[in-house]
Amino acid sequence: MISVEDAEAVIQAQVRDFGKESVPFEQALGRVLAEDLKADRDLPPYNRVAMDGVAISYHAFEKGLHTFQIRATQAAGEAPVDIQTEEECIEIMTGAVLPPSTDTVIRYEDLSIGEGTATVLVEQVKKGQNIHRQGKDKQQGDVVAQANQLVTPALISMAASVGATVLPVKKLPKVAVISTGDELVEVGTTPLPFQIRRSNSYTVKAALQKYSVQADLLHLPDNMEATQAQLKECLQRYDALLLSGGVSMGKFDYVPRALEGLGVEKLFHKVQQKPGKPFWFGIHPEGALVFALPGNPVSTFMCLHRYFVPWLEASLGVGDKPQLHAVLHADTTFMAPLQYFLQVALSVNDRGQLLATPLEGNGSGDFANLVAADAFLELPANQQEFKAGEVYRVWPFKPLY
Amino acid sequence: MISVEDAEAVIQAQVRDFGKESVPFEQALGRVLAEDLKADRDLPPYNRVAMDGVAISYHAFEKGLHTFQIRATQAAGEAPVDIQTEEECIEIMTGAVLPPSTDTVIRYEDLSIGEGTATVLVEQVKKGQNIHRQGKDKQQGDVVAQANQLVTPALISMAASVGATVLPVKKLPKVAVISTGDELVEVGTTPLPFQIRRSNSYTVKAALQKYSVQADLLHLPDNMEATQAQLKECLQRYDALLLSGGVSMGKFDYVPRALEGLGVEKLFHKVQQKPGKPFWFGIHPEGALVFALPGNPVSTFMCLHRYFVPWLEASLGVGDKPQLHAVLHADTTFMAPLQYFLQVALSVNDRGQLLATPLEGNGSGDFANLVAADAFLELPANQQEFKAGEVYRVWPFKPLY
């Protein structure tokens, strides 16, 4: 039996680079940016008028001129119109280019507009005011979004702005999610009294959608030959296999034997944790990784979030995510010398603290409880008593907002 | 000018119910469940063996019998096999039905298996141990997932388990995202020196994908007639219009006039906030709501998350979300008597506190800054100095995990 930390280290040593590909920027949400995105011109690209009003030469105002002849009106998107004398101004709109002959913008709120004239009503005018200067935010060639981050709505805005109609993103691994167990029947059928419906695979597939991974779903019968035949093909076709079930001590738990028979090297079997103790992890000589997760729904779900997702994120280059911690909100006891992944509801109190309220279910077979929970709180193996107010590492599986 | 709180109240008074529809459970991720999901049978549906080992009658063990004849082996998914005498046991696998003639399971770790026999190696055996009792998690007819919550991977698991191949979910509003301004050109083109590329609409559309809302993108020229003609059609066709730009004091800011000319009742114009002061909100007599957001990218983004998203969530029935608070991590000053939405990076420290570190950009035109930020921290209008350590309401726009 290996510790949680060691299991994590073994898995993280198998981080992969799946390369990159280009996708239309509008379809890149949730993918990982593979190259720095750079500004194709300054941001703003010109001295940008930041308020509706008039553009003047400050020199004239400074000399005492407060009423200006409106030479022209310039909308955003129009070529700039210059004043011919300092007695003139340009009535000008937010987003327009500041005419080079002017250097200061007075907003409508501080003006009285008459017949072809604008009179400044305030004494305080600052040279250069109400102008968003060319290149102030970013200069041409500057990085506007660094590689190795998730593409967010704000990043899509930036891509649009610099004309990046396609974005380079990290390629995704090919993943198969494989259920095992003859007790499992299809969702659309009515199970016999001693059967249950398949559910783990759908959960895993749904959880991977966050990363745009489109996993294939497969099922193995409790039969050594069929198991080996199908796994053999999968080891060729996929970068990662996510199995659930068949890894415990049962007589029909063929998975470890089948995998080892196919040349998959076992890197560990059994982790000092609850749930998920029988977790088996290995690597095929040609590269495929096998995450053989225990089949109890809570075990599968925990191992997915504690091991597979961090491996996936690291493989996509977003591995330097900071650890998240939460405050345990009620005393908890766990006697076994195992790292205990407690199901919790998360909330943020009015002091900005992340609170983890225990929602203990009826063990690793109780997935009804998972619907209400938000996260697993990871409680160290070398401790039995956990007091309210203590802080532990937390693994959320629902968005906090 | 209306306060942020009043603006919010006016908008929340316009919450709608768009009805419900059924979707295949595998496609329901991120939708809002419209009806309680109920168990079609008990969970577990039978007395479920929770460890691999043997099933015995506790009565025999209590009388002193420690070695049992293995009558049969029963896998998960098989009909239960009964013992004929108390001297017998069934070798049995996790997930199998407990045979009615037995009541206790001894795990392999506590057994020695010989030629057709199993000998219990431990003294301590508890009647009924290692059994996950029928109906312990949920009883047939119990609610396993309440209506009005987002469909998560765990909920999909539950749907699969109770055989809900289709799920009732809330219908989504029909939303148009409409940009305005003649300075805007298509993303794929090279702008003239006084033009910029369209970006706001793509951001808004991407942000709404989180809610599975597939918004249509439209653009209005700075021309009163064309603006009115297009808006007229949109008011018929959509439940909500999200405009960006054209709502300020500029000569070509036709949007409020165009809307009012089409019979849209103005519910407010201008909110006591920065960014986003010129925000205009109204309602068409036939029901369409118009969120006319200021066109500066940061203003659009802030108003989207502060006003539109809470309206959408409330309309979909997930409106009772708790407020989120974060700890300001550096002193900040903001002098104007406006609610200030400070861009911040969020992190959780090792005491479980949500920290908001200011990432002030160059005003509402600076959307380069938004790429790095995680949230807006909402700083009250009636205060100028904000000290590190103080707690304020926070509006995240990136996932925290």
Please state the CATH superfamily assignment of the domain spanning residues A20-43+136-170 in this structure: Molybdopterin biosynthesis moea protein, domain 2 (3.90.105.10)
Query: Per-residue DSSP letters for B149-217?
Result: SB--HHHHHHHHHTT-SEEEEEPPPPEEEEEE-TTEE-TTSPPPTT-EE--HHHHHHHHHGGGT--PEE
**Tokens at A309, concatenated:** 């997702």
**Nearest Cα residue to B401 out of A294, A16, A326, A205:** A326
Burial status of residue A124 (CB atoms within 10 A of its CB: 0-12, 13-18, 19 or more): exposed
pLDDT for the residue numbered B319:
62
The domain B325-396 is placed in CATH, from the list 2.40.10.10, 3.40.50.2300, 3.40.50.300, 2.40.340.10, at 2.40.340.10
Mean pLDDT of the B318-337 span: 91
CATH architecture entry for B48-132 = Beta Complex (2.170)
Q: Per residue in A53-73, pLDDT tens?
A: 999 999 999 999 999 999 999
The angle subtended at Cα B37 by Cα B32 and Cα B40, nearest 5°, is 155
DSSP label of A97? B
- Predicted confidence (pLDDT) at residue B48 exceeds the cutoff of 90: yes
Higher pLDDT, B401 or A351: A351
**Residues A258/A214, Cβ–Cβ less than 8 Å:** no
The CATH topology of domain B4-18+172-315 is Molybdenum Cofactor Biosythetic Enzyme; Chain A (3.40.980)
| Residue range B380-390: mean pLDDT, rounded | 97
Model confidence over A19-49: pLDDT tens digits? Answer: 999 999 999 999 999 999 999 999 999 999 9
User: If residue B301 lies in a helix (H) or strand (E), which one and from where to where?
Assistant: helix B297-303
DSSP letter string, A9-39: HHHHTT-----EEEEEGGG-TTSBB-S-EE-
Tell me which residue has tokens 């103005």.
Answer: B266
Which of B 116-155 lie inside 8 A of A, CB atoms?
132, 136-138, 144-145, 150, 152-155
Give me the interface pTM, i.e. the ipTM.
0.94
* Residue ranges for chain A with pLDDT beneath 70: 319, 364-365, 401
Interface list for B 154-213 with A (CB within 8 A) = 154-165, 181-184, 187-200, 202-207, 209
* Cα–Cα distances in angstroms (integers) from residue B98 to residues B70, B77, B93, B124, in the given order: 15, 11, 10, 20
**Predicted local confidence at residue B399, as pLDDT:** 82
Question: Which CATH number, 3.40.50.300, 3.20.130.10, 3.40.1010.10, 3.90.105.10, labels domain B21-41+147-170?
Answer: 3.90.105.10
Average pLDDT estimate for B245-272: 93
Q: At what angle do helices B153-161 and A200-208 cross, to 10 degrees?
A: 160
pLDDT value of position B18: 97
Residues of A in contact with B204 (CB under 8 A): 153
Taking the C-alpha atoms of residue A255 and residue A2, their distance in angstroms, rounded to an integer, is: 19
Phi-psi bin for B18: left (phi > 0), alpha (psi -120 to 50), beta? alpha
Mutation choice for A interface testing from B94, B249, B251, B391 by most A CBs within 10 A: B94
Question: Tokens 């200011």 — which residue?
Answer: B358
**Domain boundaries of chain B, sorted by first residue:** 4-18+172-315, 21-41+147-170, 48-132, 325-396
Q: In A242-363, which ranges are continuous DSSP H helix?
A: 255-261, 297-303, 309-315
How high is the pLDDT of residue A173? 98
**Residue A272: C-alpha distances to residues A262, A276, A277, A390 (Å):** 26, 9, 6, 22
Residue A343: per-residue pLDDT:
96
Q: Which token pair is A266?
A: 């076992």
Q: Cα–Cα distance between A234 and A216 in angstroms, integer?
A: 10
| Per-residue model confidence as pLDDT tens digits over B262-302 | 999 999 999 999 999 999 999 999 999 999 999 999 999 99
Residues A394 and A376 sit within 8 Å (Cβ to Cβ): yes
Chain B residues in contact with A26 (beta carbon < 8 A): 202, 205-206
Residue A26 near residue A156 (C-beta atoms within 8 A)? yes
Q: How confident is the model at residue B365 (pLDDT cuts 50, 70, 90)?
A: low
User: Beta strands of B297-380 (E only): which ranges?
Assistant: 325-328, 332-333, 339-348, 354-358, 375-379
Contacts of B43 in chain A (CB under 8 A): 366, 368
Of A40, A92, A94, give the one whose Cα is nearest residue B181.
A94
Average pLDDT for B184-211: 95
A2: its two tokens = 């290996």
Distance of CA B366 to the CA centre of its chain: 28
Which of B130, B45, B42, B136 lies closest to B93 in space, CA to CA? B130
